[in-house]
């Protein structure tokens, strides 16, 4: 019974963080960067992974850095697919010994249920179709000059890169990492 209550608490924390992130996107779109950062920090009090959304401010400062970070995420996810265990073991070395993140990563690495393994099924076909649709949409939007806010276009590009890196690439090796 306690385990089920813990799952619900985690879901509520994730939902609160996501709600705050969605509100923060309004400020990002209207170029109110400070308010966006404050809301991201507030969301991180509920779920620390909200901090990754700080990369979405990069397009407001540098289009070149946006492309570099976006493509870098994709390259890193491909490297992760190739050497998942080695990379995670290396990350654990830099974490404090009794930290929550370190203990979780150790558990995921060495348990039979969560250890890195390729999981490709029928959903992979849908993932591939989604990737094709995303790239086709970006290509058509650029070709027809549909973007009015180029900085926010960079935000969308980084969001798609994050999704492809974590949701599809890394998720195929360790589905537990995408929760």
* 31-61 per-position pLDDT tens digit: 999 999 999 999 999 988 899 899 999 988 8
> Greater confidence, 135 or 14?
14
**pTM across the whole model:** 0.69
Q: Which of 179, 142, 134 is nearest to 159 (CA)?
A: 134
CA 7, CA 12: separation in Å to the nearest integer?
A: 9
Which range among 13-17, 62-66, 158-162, 173-177 has the greatest average pLDDT? 13-17
Question: So what's the pLDDT on residue 170?
Answer: 64
> Greater confidence, 4 or 168?
168
User: Residue 4 pLDDT more than 70?
Assistant: no
* 36 close to 42: Cβ distance less than 8 angstroms: no
Question: So what's the pLDDT on residue 51?
Answer: 92
Average pLDDT, the chain: 79
Taking residues 10-28, what's their average pLDDT? 91
Q: Crossing angle for the helix pair 84-94 and 100-110, nearest 10 degrees?
A: 160
* 98-154 per-position pLDDT tens digit: 887 777 777 777 777 666 666 666 767 777 787 778 778 777 777 777 666 667 777
Question: So what's the pLDDT on residue 105?
Answer: 74
- List the structure tokens of 139: 């290509």
CA 139, CA 121: separation in Å to the nearest integer?
A: 28
User: Residue 64 pLDDT more than 70?
Assistant: yes
């Amino acid at each position: 019974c306690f385990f089920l209550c813990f799952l619900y608490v985690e879901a509520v924390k994730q939902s609160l963080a996501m709600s705050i992130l969605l509100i923060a996107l309004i400020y990002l779109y209207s170029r109110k960067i400070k308010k966006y950062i404050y809301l991201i920090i507030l969301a991180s009090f509920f779920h620390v992974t909200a901090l990754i959304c700080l990369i979405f401010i990069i397009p407001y400062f540098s289009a070149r850095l946006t492309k570099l970070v976006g493509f870098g995420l994709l390259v890193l996810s491909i490297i992760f697919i190739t050497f998942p265990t080695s990379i995670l073991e290396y990350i654990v070395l830099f974490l404090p010994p009794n930290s929550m993140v370190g203990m979780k990563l150790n558990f995921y690495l060495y348990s039979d249920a969560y250890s890195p393994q390729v999981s490709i099924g029928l959903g992979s076909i849908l993932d591939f179709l989604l990737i094709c649709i995303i790239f086709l949409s970006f290509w058509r939007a650029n070709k027809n000059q549909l973007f009015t806010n180029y900085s926010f276009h960079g935000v969308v590009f980084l969001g798609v890169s994050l999704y492809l890196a974590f949701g599809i690439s890394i998720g195929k090796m360790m589905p537990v990492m995408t929760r």
